[in-house]
């Protein structure tokens, strides 16, 4: 028996609903229909009165979740696509993210963002928005790369007292499978060494972890041992694990699917440069999507985001220095 990344997300929500009577799910088409991606399949039937269809009102959806969180509930909001969360942006960054700091009342809610590119999805169904949410104080931003993390981190997200932006990658929904769901997990905020190596560190998160691992496999026959760090959460960012890896390898390449200006990759490089400059043997580099909206056509889309081949090429340049 195997379980997909998407099924893990569905199972995590079933566990949260089963174990905590304060949890409910609110989003577009999440009820009897089971969600646009079927991430809430059968949950409305299994948990009557706990899963609610919302009107197409992202602002009001998040606002309702904040009000419910103030009253002690633990809402899970499903955005149909991460892209549409910008229509609820104000409530996330100005209401949910400021509540605890302003009033001492924690805002325990989870906003699930199906995000990232899939071929043919175009400019408004492909975006990676972890950077803009990480920019705001008060939010936790999770970017699980594995089936196991999708499951255990979503369960953790619902249990956390702070608002969590849970970025689940649509490309991984069906492609990624595991044999079983985990019973243990790394703590939230702790990065994972996805592959050990000694020559160069690639820091990645979410789907880019798999591109980085493929690049590492491509470089292995050439004699290079690449270490891949999976950040798991981009906020808080596990600077210590990154720094320890760079201390071993002396080379840092950061890879993200989001746009290049600012962002997670820039943040990682800024931290390593300011705290660990002496650890670096070559200038740190980063790879991101191109600075345009995300194209529809598969030819353009494949060239828009970092791929294993592009990562391997960037790594080779750094390794020859």
Partner 1 sequence: MYQTVLDAEAGGGSAALRDLHLSAYRFMLQARLLDEKLASLYRAGKIHGGVFLSRGQEALSVSIGVSLRKTDVFSPLIRDSAGRLAFGESILDSLQTCLGSALGPMRGRDGNVHRGRPRDGYLAMISHLGAMISVVNGALFARRFKGITDVVGATCIGDGGTATGSFHEALNQAAVEKLPLVLVVANNQYAYSTPNDREFACADLADRAVGYGVTPHSVDGTDLSACLAVLGRAVAQARAGGGPQLVVASLLRLCGHGEHDDAGYIDPKIKNSPLGRDCLKVAEDILISRQWADATELAQWRNEAVRAIETTVARVQREPAPDPFAEQWTAVSGTDLRETHEELGV
Could you list the active site residues? 125
Smallest gap from Cβ 306 to partner 1, in A, equals 24
What span, in angstroms and rounded, lies between the C-alpha atoms of 20 and 74?
9
What span, in angstroms and rounded, lies between the C-alpha atoms of 106 and 189?
19
**237 contacts partner 1 (rule: CB under 8 A):** yes
Smallest gap from Cβ 257 to partner 1, in A, equals 22
Among 106, 250, 260, 262, binds partner 1 (CB under 8 A): 106
**283 contacts partner 1 (rule: CB under 8 A):** no
**298 contacts partner 1 (rule: CB under 8 A):** no
Among 2, 221, 223, 274, binds partner 1 (CB under 8 A): 274
Count other C-beta atoms under 10 Å from residue 90's C-beta. 13
Q: Which is nearer to partner 1, 270 or 300 (CB)?
A: 270
Alpha-helical regions (H) of 24-138 = 43-46, 58-70, 89-90, 97-103, 130-135
**86 contacts partner 1 (rule: CB under 8 A):** no
What span, in angstroms and rounded, lies between the C-alpha atoms of 184 and 246?
27
Q: Are 241 and 272 in contact (CB under 8 A)?
A: no
Binders of partner 1 in range 123-142 (CB under 8 A) = 137-140
Binders of partner 1 in range 10-69 (CB under 8 A) = 24, 49, 54-55, 57, 59-69
Give the three-class secondary structure for 90. helix
Q: Which is nearer to partner 1, 73 or 244 (CB)?
A: 73
**92 contacts partner 1 (rule: CB under 8 A):** no
What span, in angstroms and rounded, lies between the C-alpha atoms of 263 and 148?
26
What is the sign of the dihedral through the CA atoms of 127, 128, 134 and 139?
A: positive
Q: Which is nearer to partner 1, 29 or 275 (CB)?
A: 275
Q: Which two tokens stand for residue 140?
A: 């936790």
Alpha-helical regions (H) of the chain = 5-19, 43-46, 58-70, 89-90, 97-103, 130-135, 147-159, 172-175, 207-219, 239-249, 264-276, 298-304, 308-320
Alpha-helical regions (H) of 136-222 = 147-159, 172-175, 207-219
Binders of partner 1 in range 158-217 (CB under 8 A) = 160-162, 187-189
**244 contacts partner 1 (rule: CB under 8 A):** no
**94 contacts partner 1 (rule: CB under 8 A):** yes
Smallest gap from Cβ 122 to partner 1, in A, equals 24
Count other C-beta atoms under 10 Å from residue 283's C-beta. 11
Among 1, 102, 221, 223, binds partner 1 (CB under 8 A): 102
Q: Which among 179, 156, 151, 242 is positioned nearest to 205, based on CA atoms?
A: 242
Smallest gap from Cβ 182 to partner 1, in A, equals 20
Q: Which is nearer to partner 1, 239 or 307 (CB)?
A: 239
Residues touching partner 1: how many (CB under 8 A)?
Answer: 52
**271 contacts partner 1 (rule: CB under 8 A):** yes
What span, in angstroms and rounded, lies between the C-alpha atoms of 127 and 87?
14
Q: Which is nearer to partner 1, 118 or 131 (CB)?
A: 131
**97 contacts partner 1 (rule: CB under 8 A):** yes
Q: Which residues bind partner 1 (CB under 8 A)?
A: 24, 49, 54-55, 57, 59-73, 75, 90-91, 94-95, 97-103, 105-106, 137-140, 160-162, 187-189, 235-237, 239-240, 271, 274-275
């Amino acid at each position: 028996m195997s379980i997909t990344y998407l099924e893990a997300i569905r199972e995590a929500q079933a566990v949260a609903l089963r174990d905590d009577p304060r949890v409910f799910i609110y989003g577009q088409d999440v009820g009897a229909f089971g969600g646009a991606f079927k991430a809430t399949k059968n949950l409305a039937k299994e948990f009557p009165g706990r899963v609610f269809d919302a009107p197409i009102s992202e602002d009001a959806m998040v606002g309702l979740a904040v009000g419910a969180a103030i009253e002690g509930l633990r809402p899970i909001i499903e955005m149909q696509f991460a892209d549409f969360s910008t229509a609820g942006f104000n409530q996330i960054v100005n209401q949910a993210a400021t509540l605890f700091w302003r009033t001492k009342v924690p805002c325990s809610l989870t906003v699930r963002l199906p995000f990232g590119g899939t071929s043919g999805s175009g400019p408004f169904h492909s975006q990676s928005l972890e950077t803009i949410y990480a920019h705001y104080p008060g939010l936790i931003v999770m970017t699980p790369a594995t089936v196991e993390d999708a499951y255990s981190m979503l369960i953790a997200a619902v249990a956390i007292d702070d608002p969590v932006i849970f970025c689940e990658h649509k490309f991984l929904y069906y492609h990624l499978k595991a044999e079983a769901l985990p019973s243990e997990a790394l703590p939230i905020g702790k990065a994972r060494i996805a592959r050990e190596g000694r020559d160069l560190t690639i820091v990645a998160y979410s789907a880019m972890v798999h591109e980085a691992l493929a690049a590492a496999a491509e470089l292995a026959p050439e004699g290079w041992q690449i270490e891949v760090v999976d950040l798991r959460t981009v906020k808080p960012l596990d600077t210590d694990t990154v720094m320890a890896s760079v201390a071993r390898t002396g080379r840092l390449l950061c890879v993200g699917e989001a746009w290049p200006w600012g962002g997670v990759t820039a943040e990682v490089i800024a931290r390593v440069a300011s705290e660990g400059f002496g650890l670096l043997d070559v200038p740190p580099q980063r790879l991101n999507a191109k600075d345009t909206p995300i194209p529809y056509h598969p030819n353009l889309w494949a060239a828009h985001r970092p791929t294993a081949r592009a990562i391997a090429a960037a790594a080779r340049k750094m390794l020859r220095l």
